[in-house]
Each structure stands twice: as C-alpha cells, then as structure tokens.
Amino acid sequence: MCGIIAAASNRNVGKLLVQGLHKMEYRGYDSAGIALHQNNQIAHLRTLGKVKLLEEKMISEKPKSKLGIAHTRWATHGEPSEENAHPHKSNERVYIVHNGIIENYLDLKEFLKKEGYSFSSQTDSELIAHMLEYFLAKGNSMLDSMYLTKEKLDGAYAIAAIDKEDDKNIIIARNKSPLLIGIGTDEFLAASDPLAIAQLTNEFIFLEDGDVAELSSEEFTIYDQSKNKVEREISQIDISNQATSKGEYKHFMEKEIYEQPDAILNTIDGRVGGDDVLDNIFGIGSSEIFEKVKRIQIVACGTSLHAGRVAANWFSAIAELPTQIDYASEYRYRNPHVDEDSLLVTISQSGETADTLAALRYAKEKDYLSTLTICNVPTSSLARESDYSIFTNAGPEIGVASTKAFTTQLAALMLLSLALAKSRGKNPKLRTRVITAMRSLSDTVNETLKLKDKILEIAPAIASKDNALFLGRGIFYPIAKEGALKLKEISYIHAEAYPAGELKHGPLALIDEEMPVIALAPESEIAEKLVSNLEEVKARGGTLYVFADPSITMDLKSGQVINMPKCDFLLTPIIYTIPLQILSYEVALLRGTDIDQPRNLAKSVTVE
Ligand code: G6P
C-alpha cells in the first residue's frame, strides 16, 4: 500500500506535500519521507514513524523547493525503518516513491547488482530508482527511461520520480495501483488519492493502467501504454475539508460512528420511491439484467465481506436467489465454477483493495452475466471497471476500523436485494414492508447511538480482559464476526465469533470468568434456542453481555442485558452493529491504543 504525492509548482511545495501525506496516512503510517529539488541538489528527509515526525524534521531543516515527491509507507518488503522509507535514490541522481509490489524484484535486483548498483534497503522499490538511473546513464530521457523500466517490472505500481539534473519535471507511472493528477493553480500535482490534494484543487485526472505522465508547474502530458500522447477525462470532485477533519470528536472512528444516521440517509436518498426501490439505480440497464440473474457470487475482504455475509441472507429471503461468498484473496485460487446467469458482486469501501480488484479482473474473464460493485469511492478502480455500481455516499472514512462504510454497505445491499426481487417479480409485500422500515432506519440508528451510557458501564470489564467471545445466530453471526473484528483491530484484545449453536462443539471449553461473552439476541424464531445457548455459558460461570430485544427475558448471574430499540427484523443487523462499534471504541479508549491508526494495519490494502 502506501501513499505517494508529488508537486511541481511556482511556490514552495514542502508544506503541501507533508499535508498531503497526513491525509493519506490511512494508507500506511510506519515511516515517511520526502525528496525536494533545492538549488540543484536534492533535500532528502526520511523518518521512522508517523508523518508528524517527518513534519518536525522539515520544520527544523526548512528545505525550500518548488518540485518534490513524498511518501507514507506500509511495510511489505523490509521492516519499517529509515533505510526502508521512501524516497529511494540511485547514484544521488534519481529519487523515487512507489506504492505497490514489484513481483520480480529478486531477479531485477540480481541484474542491477551485476551492473554495479548497490542496495541500501530491503525494499522491492529501491530497484526502480536504480533501473531508471541505469537507463538514464545510457543517454535516454527520463520519459524513455520510465518506459524501459516499465518493460522490466512485473507487479503493481504507482511511481513518482525526479532527476537531480532536471528541476522542472516529475515523471509518474501507473499500473494496477491508484494514481491521479490534480490540476492546481500554477501547479500540477499527483497523488494516490484525491483526498491528499483536495485542498488544492477539485479537478482530477485518473490515470489508467500503463499510463505515464510528465508534470511541470506549467503543463502536463499523459502517454498511454504505447507511448502515444493521450487526453484523459477531467473529473470535478468536491471533497470538503470538513469531511476530513475530526471536528468535535477525539477520533475519526468516533466521528464516523456518530455520522451513521446521516450516512445511511445519503445511501438511501433518491433510490426509493413510493413503496418500492427505483429502477436502474445500479446503472442504466441494471433492472433488465437483474431479471436474468439466477445466482450471486460475492467477493470482498474484511468488514466488507461481513456485509456480504449478511446480504446473502437477504438475497435469499427477499430476491429468492442463492449466493456464494468468497474472501477475495481466496476466490481465484479455488477454480470457481461459474453457473449460468451469475452476477458477480464486489463490496469495498475504498474500491482499491488489491485482492478484490484482482478477483473482479479474474471474474471478467469468466462467464458471468455481469459485474456490480457496492463502493464508497465513485472514482475508484472497482467502480470504473465494474459493469454496474452503487455508491454508498458515506463520505470519506478515515478511521482504519470501518464503521459507517459497513452500515451503508448494508443499506446499499438491501437496496440490491430489493432491486433484484423487483426485477424478478418476487415478494412485493415484503418489499413494501422493508422500504417502510428503511425510511425510519436513520432514526432508529440515532436512537441506538444513545445506548452509549449503558455501554460505558460494561466497557471497563471487557477492557481488563485479554480475550472475548462474540455470539450471534443466523443473520447475526456475521454481525458477531464484525464485532469481534472491531474489538481485535483497535483494542488488540483477542476476539472470536461463533454462531451460538456451535458453542457446545468446542468453544465452551474456553468459558470461565476470564472470558467475557458478548451476545446478540434479537427477537426471532430462534430466540429461545439462543437463550438456551446462553444458559450453557451461564452454567459454566461465564460473564454475559447481551444486546437483546426487550421481549427476551434473561436472568443473568453476572454481566448485563442491554435492551435494543425495535426495528424490522430484516434491518436489525444494521442496528445491532452500532453498540458493538461503540463498545470496541470505548474499550480501546480505556486501553489507550492508537484508535484511528492501529498497529500493523492500514485502511486501503492495495497489495495482494
Ligand atoms: C482493510 C481495512 C478494513 C477493510 C478491508 C477491506 O483491512 O482495514 O477496514 O474492511 O481492508 O477494504 P475495502 O476498502 O475493500 O472495503
């Protein structure tokens, strides 16, 4: 992963590059660095740790420059360290930043070593600097050197490079890793994400795979795979600064949890009308395609996969369609059989997750009826490469642990279930029932957020433990999994989730006073069975924390029951997610972890 940014301007660019890195820390934050052209020299600063440390170094060294590149890293090859931080350099001449993975790096390293280059890092990226220098030294231009280097590279990359001998131009290249150009005033910028430069421009050009571009403060030129000059579309995107600041909240995660009522409204807005879902909300022709669908294949990662697991229940209950779900990282490697008239659905907050993107590209070679993505970023690769899409409109999600992206994915997946059912002429009454419930969903989420005080009462007991078990049944099992994922991601407490009926087949052995058990008990046809499962925990001295429908009565020896607001059963997974998010947040706060940027993780995982 990692985030890259570059600027060629008529003004000093050091500060804006560092500000851009701050906005991209969600992509990685274990080290950072910058290379700036300064009086025919390159100021090269790198730090281990977060961008703040690089910023401090910049403040003390005060480099001045109108042209530079910068990077924030999430380690793949080589531990986080100053030596492994980007920019990497070759012969004090070429400096590069790279996001992605060079798969044939060992062969290329061998080749370069034989050519006399020595390596000062353990990264795969450093070889790009040497390879560019190798071709430059043979008399090629920087543009030609980039094309010659690209011919050698296998893998994914977004690269920005500068040459000490040229204080006017930056060369950038993209293959399978996001990269865009920003059109500023008297300056041109490049970055992995529009967020990084959104304060400087709202005009962006998203490069395509194989593209190379040359930027100066006055102009930019884009070349395609075959080195032909090309024009690419300019997208206007307004990303308000407000959306990327914490406001009154301590953490982005907290802000994003409390934004959910509005985010869900935004997902539903303009997509339902009367007592049904509107036609073609997934793109022109989608309603017609949906008539033909006989089977659904979902691929996603992390939290997005959990959303898919909930949706599989909805596709079955509302649209009467069978669904297969795969981890995106596994899907391609199981020789998936594609049934006739299958729809491939990818789910992704970022739209850039490498495994999900690779699964989509693989599926496009197979016999799918069509491909569709549920995504939060309209300009993302998944959105651009899928036949149909719906955007969750949740606004930027910065906290690494996904919250509003998840609940809005669920809302969008419910719209998909309804749209499929409508096109297939299934369950009109049920559709009306769900649409009515969706109209008040945002209010119910608001009501659920008020449970915070009750959750604060149980958070200390969980924060003091090293393990936790989450239980749910049916459509609530994926929510239990999501609860466990949230807790482990940000509080580093080991947490597992089980369908409650499976307790007796193993996990019951773990129950003692050191193992808090968090259970989801909505009103359902299997509520009684779930209560019996919870009795099994109680009988073995386990402490239960149960989020329950008020109709469910439980007499606990230790622990607590928290009553949940009422909601249509099919939408309750969204409601029951909320207290689990708040619980993880409050537990992590008590444990003093780095909530928005938990150790070893990153928000957008653009490596396979
Ligand atoms: C990372 C993030 C998770 C996210 C997953 C999938 O692991 O930390 O929060 O669920 O990637 O990301 P996507 O953008 O595809 O939803």
Q: How far apart are alpha carbons 41 and 559 in whole angstroms?
A: 65
pLDDT at 246 exceeding the cut of 90 = no
Ligand 1 centroid–CA 400 distance in Å is 8
Ligand 1 centroid–CA 550 distance in Å is 33
Claim to verify: residue 211 and residue 300 sit in the same structural domain? no
Q: How far apart are alpha carbons 189 and 459 in whole angstroms?
A: 45
Beta bridge partners of 71: 4, 33
Decide if 144 is inside a domain: yes
Q: Whose CA is nearest to atom 7 of ligand 1?
A: 302
Claim to verify: residue 378 and residue 475 sit in the same structural domain? no
Q: Under DSSP, is residue 176 helix (H, G, I), strand (E, B) or coil?
A: strand
Give the side-chain half-sphere CA count within 13 A for 577. Answer: 30
Question: What amino acid is encoded at 5 in this protein?
Answer: I
pLDDT at 151 exceeding the cut of 90 = yes
Claim to verify: residue 311 and residue 231 sit in the same structural domain? no
pLDDT at position 302 is 96
Decide if 572 is inside a domain: yes
* CA separation, residue 86 to residues 6, 149, 195, 601 (Å): 13, 18, 20, 19
Decide if 605 is inside a domain: no
**Cα dihedral 436, 442, 444, 445 sign:** positive
Atom of ligand 1 nearest to the CA of 401: 9
Decide if 36 is inside a domain: yes
Decide if 604 is inside a domain: no
pLDDT at 485 exceeding the cut of 80 = yes
Q: How far apart are alpha carbons 535 and 309 in whole angstroms?
A: 27
Atom of ligand 1 nearest to the CA of 402: 9
Two tokens, residue 342: 């299958």
Claim to verify: residue 478 and residue 553 sit in the same structural domain? yes
Question: Among residues 418, 439, 460, which one ends one of the domains?
Answer: 439
Cα 186–chain centre separation = 32
| Portion of the chain with pLDDT greater than 90, in percent | 80
Claim to verify: residue 270 and residue 315 sit in the same structural domain? yes
Active site residues: 2, 603
Q: How far apart are alpha carbons 373 and 351 in whole angstroms?
A: 8
Q: What is the DSSP string of 548-573?
A: E-TT-----SSEEEEEPPP--GGGHH
Query: 52-64 pLDDT, tens per residue?
Result: 999 999 999 999 9
Atom of ligand 1 nearest to the CA of 601: 8
pLDDT at 526 exceeding the cut of 80 = no
Claim to verify: residue 258 and residue 190 sit in the same structural domain? no
Claim to verify: residue 376 and residue 473 sit in the same structural domain? no
pLDDT at position 500 is 86
216-224 contacts, C-beta under 8 A, 24 or more apart: 216/8, 216/168, 216/169, 216/170, 216/188, 217/8, 217/9, 217/10, 217/66, 217/67, 217/168, 217/186, 217/187, 217/188, 219/188, 220/181, 220/183, 220/188, 222/181, 223/143
Query: 258-279 pLDDT, tens per residue?
Result: 999 989 998 998 898 888 999 9
Question: What amino acid is encoded at 501 in this protein?
Answer: G
| Portion of the chain with pLDDT greater than 70, in percent | 99
Decide if 597 is inside a domain: no
Which mutation among 391, 409, 595, 603 tests ligand 1's pocket best, with the greatest number of atoms within 8 A of CB? 603
Average pLDDT, the chain: 93
Q: Whose CA is nearest to atom 2 of ligand 1?
A: 603
Claim to verify: residue 194 and residue 296 sit in the same structural domain? no
Query: 290-302 pLDDT, tens per residue?
Result: 999 999 999 999 9
Which mutation among 253, 349, 397, 606 tests ligand 1's pocket best, with the greatest number of atoms within 8 A of CB? 349
pLDDT at 239 exceeding the cut of 80 = no
Ligand 1 centroid–CA 57 distance in Å is 31
Claim to verify: residue 456 and residue 421 sit in the same structural domain? no
Ligand 1 centroid–CA 349 distance in Å is 7
When pLDDT is cut at 50, 70 and 90, the band that residue 241 belongs to is low
Pocket around ligand 1 at a 6 A CB cut-off: 301-304, 348-350, 353, 356, 400, 402, 601, 603-605
CATH number of domain containing 496: 3.40.50.10490
pLDDT average, residue stretch 299-322:
98
**Contact (CB, 8 A) for 167 and 210:** no
Ligand 1 centroid–CA 560 distance in Å is 31
Q: Whose CA is nearest to atom 1 of ligand 1?
A: 603
Claim to verify: residue 428 and residue 463 sit in the same structural domain? no
Number of domain units in the chain: 3
Claim to verify: residue 129 and residue 100 sit in the same structural domain? yes
Q: Which of 346, 339, 417 is nearest to 388 (CA)?
A: 346
- Compute, in degrees rounded to 10, the torsion defined by CA atoms 100, 103, 107, 113: 10
Decide if 393 is inside a domain: yes
Decide if 603 is inside a domain: no
Which mutation among 380, 402, 481 tests ligand 1's pocket best, with the greatest number of atoms within 8 A of CB? 402
Give the lowest-confidence range in 1-5, 209-213, 240-244.
240-244
pLDDT at position 254 is 97
Residue 353's domain spans which residues? 252-439
User: What residues contact 245, with CB distance under 8 A and at least 6 apart?
Assistant: none
Quote the Cα angle for 391-395-398, to 5°.
120
Ligand 1 centroid–CA 380 distance in Å is 14
Ligand 1 centroid–CA 301 distance in Å is 6
Query: 548-588 pLDDT, tens per residue?
Result: 999 888 777 778 999 999 999 999 999 999 999 999 999 99
**What pTM value is reported for the model?**
0.82
Claim to verify: residue 157 and residue 37 sit in the same structural domain? yes
Q: Which of 164, 165, 133, 126 is nearest to 46 (CA)?
A: 126
pLDDT at position 243 is 65
Q: How far apart are alpha carbons 201 and 188 in whole angstroms?
A: 10
Query: 80-136 pLDDT, tens per residue?
Result: 999 999 999 999 999 999 998 898 999 999 999 999 999 999 999 999 999 999 999
**Contact (CB, 8 A) for 545 and 559:** yes
**Contact (CB, 8 A) for 538 and 557:** yes
Q: Which of 518, 519, 527 is nearest to 493 (CA)?
A: 518
